[in-house]
Structure 1
Amino acid sequence: MIRVQSSRTVVRRLLQRRYQSKSSFGIALATASRLVTPKWMLNNPVSLVSTEMNTLAKNIMGLIGSGHPTLNRVTSYYFEAEGKKVRPMLVLLLSRALSAIPVEKRNNIKIDFTDFETAPVGKDPLQKFLSSKPVENFSPLQIIHGIQSMNPLTKEASPIPEKQFDDERGILPKQRRLAEIVEMIHTASLLHDDVIDHADTRRGRPSGNVVFTNKMAVLAGDFLLGRATVSISRLKNPEVVELMSSSIANLVEGEFMQLHNVAMDSGNNDLLTEVTPVGKLNLRTHDYKVPVLPPQSTLASETLTREQQQEIINNAFRYYLHKSYLKTASLISKSCRATAILSGAQPNVIESCYNFGKNLGLCFQLVDDMLDFTISAKELGKPAGADLKLGISTAPVLYAWMEDPSLGPLIQRHFNQQGDIQQVLKSVELHNGVDKTKKLAENYRDMALKCLRDVLPESDSRSALEFLTNSILTRRK
């Protein structure tokens, strides 16, 4: 215990001297990067930044490369920029932390003997199965890639020395591939989100839709998701395939929820047009909206009792958190669960890893929504105040609404009248909406930390995960 804490303190002090201008979130990322970086890469002068994240991006390009040069440029555009890459970092760190659990206690996995040329015997099967690589392909390459027998970029992919990396770092090949898949899915969602939100910057430079047009950005996002699903299937684990595929669907569901904005949609939302079903299909109702008061209500304070107003706000908050889970926490939580499954961990460990990712993801989104009110566009690397401009009510606004009923009509009309945004900003400041949001984020952070400590042995990697989780509240981009 003392050794781990002292080593962590030394590393933190060294990094604080080196990164004095950075937030503790930046320091945490730098510290975590070193824990998932082979020594040979730390001394690699070719790498722009000596972390495994750079090799991860290169490996991804080997997975997604197309025979069309323009498509390659669009899909690689966001990978070229310096991003946080928190999601693959979490997968890699969690993989290392899980490796601290003895192999004999990570036997909750069904061995697929088709992974081996000859049936293994003795105690070897479990170890060999856990350390087996994703399959290269199921179908012949000429079928997968079309007319050409092999994707041109796939030939250029140069894998890192796997034995040295995996044996020394405790990260299994399939877990490393999972980290790459997670970043592919996330990047595809960024391409799509920037089109939907009419964003003009991302990671401090012009967004993909601005550089390449909306159509190309959407198609590139679709292509990334297609390549990701191929890679998911090659992990040869049905539950992991289900988890990661459903996380893609969750991203779309969350975006649809955001189009509705909040649960008390007036029915006049200009983003959506209600179409009467023709009755040819018996469609099961599956609406995420929670029960609210009749839409003809104006939500003005004089037309509602205190209890009615509180009911609507509570419904709106539940709707907001559900949307936040689907848009942000789903990919993080399901990738953490998949990481534990690939390690062969027991069910209680798998469940705690999932809950860790869920709570951390919600904390991350709450902080993101806070930054929209507190950080300039230059610091944030993307437009600040974008949510209000899009008519989206996040936690700071909902907390202010609890104290200021006059915000109800503004929220209902999506801040589309002159002076609405200014009034909301004043109310959020007056009623401490940002501080209350930070308090909620702290609660989710604490739950995430508890999940880690309940099931994972002490290790440098667990300490790095704790450090990273704690520092999310201090990030500035």
Structure 2
Amino acid sequence: MGLDHAATKPHEALASHLQGKLDEVNVLIRERMASRHAPRIPEVTAHLVEAGGKRLRPMLTLAAADLCGYAGRDDVKLAATVEFIHTATLLHDDVVDESAQRRGRPTANLLFDNKSSVLTGDYLFARAFQLMVETGSLTVLDILSNAAATIAEGEVLQLTASRSLKTTEEVYLQIVRGKTAALFSAATEVGGVIAGVSDDQVQALFDYGDALGIAFQIVDDLLDYQGDAKATGKNVGDDFRERKLTLPVIKAVALADESERAFWARTIEKGDQRDGDLDEALRLLNKHGTLEATREDALQWTAKANAAMAQLPEHPVRDMLLALSDYVVSRIR
């Protein structure tokens, strides 16, 4: 399919290439999130699933399978599985974070209630496992069930680590691998598994998804301090106001003198935030160059993603995936 990549964002080019399969995924999602006995379930899920997300994670599964020459139907089931896991975690996250908005709309827990959001998330996890089993692949079941466990571990770790100045870059990376990269890497890996490619190529797909997911989250955290609210849908400083210890702040804490450390302890650990504190936080981040250092980290992870993709055969989808990883960090240039 001919695509004008210069005029089309990489995820849009990928979506256009995969449109037929994506339509099938959307039909399957609607079928499987229906419930004969609990009409609240489709109400809650439809609010989130129809909210206009890019379907990036299911696209990664379809893209990996296409890149590896897969011609069956299980990629559609696995793409829907990945989206269900993602949606379930969003429902649970919004309750845990007491969020009021997602993608510019009220969250399900705000529109309905916490109990409905948590239980609907549980329902979607169950649906995800049903779809996995239908593929008949124990390897796929192993990969995606491990990813679901890793996501939960990452969220629990974040509860204890995100407001502690003792949190290191290593712990941050562990959280990011859990909350974001685990599903990216599982999404790409299962595409290769069902296509029956070599272990080396499956590993390369995993490595691509892992590095892309980490770069994606680092960029997201960086944009919180220097992004355009209209473009990102987030206000500058939301993470600071929510006392989230993300990579730019972790780097600044590591370089802080006594008074600076006291500032971070007051604003992040104790939650005692005053007028002008965000400006002071931005001053400290710029003073120590941690925004630029965070950007460099994101670029390094993008380079790792591209190096992994280089191990896969030449294919239009491979070029789109390379463009996608470059696009992730282009948002901060």
Is the pair's TM-score, using the shorter chain for normalization, greater than 0.5? yes
Q: 1:385 to 1:218 in 2, by over 3 A?
A: farther
Structure 2 letter corresponding to 1:29: H
Q: 1:335 to 1:349 in 2, by over 3 A?
A: same
Q: Return the offset for 1:350.
A: 1.3
In structure 2, the residue matched to 1:81 is 51
1:209 matched to 2:64: no
1:361 matched to 2:218: no
Contact 2:63-2:191 at 8 Å conserved across structures: no
* Same amino acid, percent of matched pairs: 30
Q: Distance in 2 between matches of 1:443 and 1:252?
A: 26
Q: Which residue, 54, 63, 68 being the options, matches 2:32?
A: 63
1:418 matched to 2:287: no
Q: Distance in 2 between matches of 1:80 and 1:214?
A: 20
The 3-state SS of whatever aligns with 1:464 is helix
1:462 matched to 2:318: yes
In structure 2, the residue matched to 1:33 is 15
Contact 1:95-1:340 at 8 Å conserved across structures: yes
Structure with bigger helix share is 2
Q: Return the offset for 1:324.
A: 0.5
In structure 2, the residue matched to 1:105 is none
Q: Distance in 1 between matches of 2:114 and 2:230?
A: 23
Q: Deviations over 1:413-445 (max 9, x none)?
A: 535113354432321133232221111011010
Q: Which residue, 3, 6, 11 being the options, matches 2:4?
A: 11
Q: Distance in 2 between matches of 1:226 and 1:448?
A: 31
Q: Which residue, 317, 321, 333 being the options, matches 2:169?
A: 317
Structure 1 letter corresponding to 2:304: M
Alignment of 1:138-157 (within 5 A): none
1:435 matched to 2:308: no
Q: Distance in 2 between matches of 1:219 and 1:459?
A: 42
Q: Which residue, 148, 156, 160 being the options, matches 1:256?
A: 156
- 4+ residue runs of structure 1 moved beyond 6 angstroms? none
Q: Which residue, 95, 99, 102 being the options, matches 1:199?
A: 99
Q: Which residue, 63, 84, 88 being the options, matches 1:93?
A: 63
Structure 2 letter corresponding to 1:329: A
In structure 2, the residue matched to 1:147 is none
Q: 1:197 to 1:386 in 2, by over 3 A?
A: farther
Aligned length: 326
Q: 1:176 to 1:54 in 2, by over 3 A?
A: closer
Structure 2 letter corresponding to 1:431: H
Q: 1:11 to 1:376 in 2, by over 3 A?
A: closer
Q: Deviations over 1:198-236 (max 9, x none)?
A: 211111211111111222111111111111111112211
The 3-state SS of whatever aligns with 1:11 is coil
Q: Distance in 1 between matches of 2:203 and 2:211?
A: 12
RMSD: 2.2
Q: Distance in 2 between matches of 1:65 and 1:217?
A: 15
Q: Please report the TM-score for the alignment, with normalisation by the length of structure 1.
A: 0.64
Alignment of 1:167-246 (within 5 A): 170-246=70-146
Higher alpha-carbon deviation: 382-391 or 358-367: 382-391
Structure 2 letter corresponding to 1:31: A
Q: Distance in 1 between matches of 2:43 and 2:71?
A: 30
In structure 2, the residue matched to 1:140 is none
- For structure 2, the residue ranges without an aligned partner over 5 or more in a row are none
Q: 1:329 to 1:233 in 2, by over 3 A?
A: same
In structure 2, the residue matched to 1:372 is 224
Structure 2 letter corresponding to 1:469: S
